[in-house]
Structure 1
């Protein structure tokens, strides 16, 4: 396929859609485009290559929902998508069997390994989550722009599992017709802060840290990741996609992603942490835990990094995460290996301890089994998982929703999920910011509170005019 302008590609796909009913799908493959289908498929995917365009600005220019964005930490791939051809959403309590059923339903719809479902799972899927997001939600976009290396492809998905071909062609044609050209993102514009509310407030935070570090409790639950919701009341509307673009520029070695299911709420994240990446049977994950700030110069930065490596509290925290992940992967894998020693992973304002973990998965293991095993990680929940989660559920004082959840995509041959830390939920008149800190024996409430501030420094500097 040869690349062409986006408007030409849209016209080509509109023409292709007009040909589909009642013709034989397998016979349609116009010059420069393709149809992906096989006998028994319930999902039909049309595609063609297009010239490069800025994907976040294209996404910000669209009027259709849902809107979603994904860019991996390695920057090899970038996705912007709108609309919905298939929606799997759970607002009520989800057990492991229901999660597995989502996966089986998705696999049964098509054998096309190029079809992807994007979405996420809440931090705690046993309790209520944010409106529209649910405890778990995955969608097959109606229209998807996917950049791989330097090649950009426009995809259109048709869902014949829930509708007929005529209606799906009509819906897809309408979505294509309503596409807007990308408008340049406006220069960063800080907004006025009218109020800020922290939950928990510092006095309660200090109580919680002292509870977790109490010798009797800590012996049973050696780590709890406490977090804080910082609600910023603002005096004007904020474009979440502009904020994500600015955040992306400042933390380039992070995952960047966002989901906006309606105009009311948008969730974005610039997260350094991978939950897992699967390529066929090969799995890559990591232990990311233990934090310090960046230095003002190279010498100070290196000294702080070495202090982090030498710090027993942070090293212990990272080792706990490593051991837990290896233990969870072992029954799912034929082989698991992990770095013996951590290295330092640097971001704009902070640096973390990091270990790489790899596994060769057994043949019958699927993505939802991996989500169940690895999420929530000890880096966002604690250890033992259930006891730490129970403490958070009862004591933290707010609903995390998709913050610290698992967000990404999956299909037959590959999947990738990030842990949704360094996150923001945009609502009318309010921006909700989230940050957490691993509390272990020896944790100091004041130092951990400052760590939360350090983790929010980048996003606050983008948003607020002090």
Structure 2
């Protein structure tokens, strides 16, 4: 198989498009691809002149995607329920049997409340052009949507998009960010009030866990390249999912998150319980002591077990088999470490991704238990709209899908960087220590911003 340079690949795809014969019996979605020589994905993405721009890198799958433009999307700003999403999802899956055709996007943490304007309660995109890497193999792909019989128009748009592709340029050199001010919502006083409410004996008997979160807003007076920021973050936490969605020049959501919601390969599903947190040590010996203390800590073990039990219970009606690790392991990141249990399921025939999203998202690791009273408390008490923070972001196609939980994340806007962090509040939680946990979870991204 020929392996082209980027310019050769563009020329080859353009020639194929010119000669493409459209047939009525063909799939409505057409995808063309060629193998290319290695291209730095984030640098290529940042150089492109059009939107949306989408980036995805798996945690442990050796896969990286940079995608631009929109061949087809479905977007819901408000008034959408999961049954409608499932119907729309099934429509998209039916358009092609090609297992390489993917929709990238996400759903908000809470699909019943106000959400970020460009992101909505759910937004998925079939890109016009994709750069994909799997291991050391690279491909350039172009998608056409002939669903409504507009084949010639699609051909023209695809050729125009290829003609406009720019070569990758080095990302702008990092510059230290001058933070003019910082505000937290809820602030520390309100945070203490909320933790005390959740840990009150009467409340916690009925709602044993609520994940409270905080929005930290940094006011700045200089532009920040979100892709440079994500690349720096990526270098600090390589064993995380890394992704970004930029639907317009003014707003970019990026995440470097350790938590998988699920990965599906046909009927085989992998998920996990990631809950319970401590810091990393200054040396190997201290790190081991902290990890062992985390394993033996009743509060953190209880929190992880609650998450594991809920996921198993949620998957059981959808599965022929569900199995979970009985004892958690320690999952290490650059500044913190978590308790982690792997969970595997064999799904029943016909179970689709939106049934899985309904069942699993939001998990008790970002919402609470029981789900509805915990979510209700969050809506009424946190004082800000989470949007896609703690939402589910990833991709799906007919045969496989993968979604991550966007917990370590940032929303970049003109003049402002929005950072998010949360902590599971259970019996025994203390407001001061949970506030410190929020600070620990922001350590990596804050250190990048202040060291740039």
Shorter-chain TM-score tier: over 0.9
Query: What does residue range 226-237 of structure 1 map to in structure 2 within 5 Å?
Result: 226-237=212-223
State the partner residue of 2:66: 80
How far did 1:111 drift?
1.4
Structure 2, unpaired ranges of 5+: none
How far did 1:24 drift?
4.8
Equivalent in 312, 318, 330 of residue 326 of structure 1? 312
State the partner residue of 2:335: 349
Query: What does residue range 6-155 of structure 1 map to in structure 2 within 5 Å?
Result: 6-20=6-20, 23-24=21-22, 39-155=25-141
Query: What does residue range 371-410 of structure 1 map to in structure 2 within 5 Å?
Result: 371-410=357-396
**After the TM superposition, which of the residue ranges 415-424 and 11-20 deviates more from structure 2?**
11-20
State the partner residue of 1:455: 441
Maintained 8 Å contact 2:318/2:347 = yes
Maintained 8 Å contact 1:5/1:51 = yes
Equivalent in 292, 295, 314 of residue 306 of structure 1? 292
How far did 1:435 drift?
0.3
- After superposition, the C-alpha distances for 1:399-431 in whole angstroms (9 at most, x for unaligned) are 000000000000011100000010000000000
Paired residue total: 452
* C-alpha distance in structure 2 between counterparts of 1:287 and 1:166, whole Å: 48
Answering whether residue 296 of structure 2 is matched by residue 317 of structure 1, we say: no
- After superposition, the C-alpha distances for 1:103-135 in whole angstroms (9 at most, x for unaligned) are 111112111111000000000001121011000
SS state of the match for residue 344, structure 2?
A: strand
The 1:334/1:75 distance shift into structure 2, 3 A limit, reads closer
* C-alpha distance in structure 1 between counterparts of 2:414 and 2:161, whole Å: 26
* C-alpha distance in structure 2 between counterparts of 1:369 and 1:446, whole Å: 38
Maintained 8 Å contact 2:265/2:399 = yes
- Give the TM-score normalised by structure 2: 0.98
Answering whether residue 157 of structure 2 is matched by residue 171 of structure 1, we say: yes
Answering whether residue 184 of structure 2 is matched by residue 208 of structure 1, we say: no
SS state of the match for residue 226, structure 1?
A: strand
Answering whether residue 2 of structure 2 is matched by residue 2 of structure 1, we say: yes
* C-alpha distance in structure 2 between counterparts of 1:454 and 1:363, whole Å: 42
* C-alpha distance in structure 2 between counterparts of 1:273 and 1:163, whole Å: 41
State the partner residue of 1:338: 324
Maintained 8 Å contact 1:276/1:283 = yes
- After superposition, the C-alpha distances for 1:75-115 in whole angstroms (9 at most, x for unaligned) are 51100000000010011122121111121111121111110
Equivalent in 177, 183, 193 of residue 179 of structure 2? 193
**After the TM superposition, which of the residue ranges 333-342 and 157-166 deviates more from structure 2?**
157-166
* C-alpha distance in structure 2 between counterparts of 1:125 and 1:163, whole Å: 33
Maintained 8 Å contact 1:192/1:465 = no
How far did 1:162 drift?
3.9
SS state of the match for residue 435, structure 2?
A: helix
State the partner residue of 2:279: 293
Maintained 8 Å contact 1:193/1:465 = no
How far did 1:432 drift?
0.2
How far did 1:348 drift?
0.2
* C-alpha distance in structure 1 between counterparts of 2:130 and 2:422, whole Å: 33
Runs (4+) of structure 1 moved beyond 6 Å?
none
- Give the TM-score normalised by structure 1: 0.96
Equivalent in 343, 346, 350 of residue 360 of structure 1? 346
* C-alpha distance in structure 1 between counterparts of 2:149 and 2:258, whole Å: 39
* C-alpha distance in structure 2 between counterparts of 1:202 and 1:60, whole Å: 37
Maintained 8 Å contact 1:188/1:462 = no
* C-alpha distance in structure 2 between counterparts of 1:361 and 1:190, whole Å: 48
Query: What does residue range 202-281 of structure 1 map to in structure 2 within 5 Å?
Result: 202-281=188-267
Maintained 8 Å contact 1:190/1:465 = yes
Maintained 8 Å contact 1:295/1:304 = yes
* C-alpha distance in structure 2 between counterparts of 1:190 and 1:94, whole Å: 41
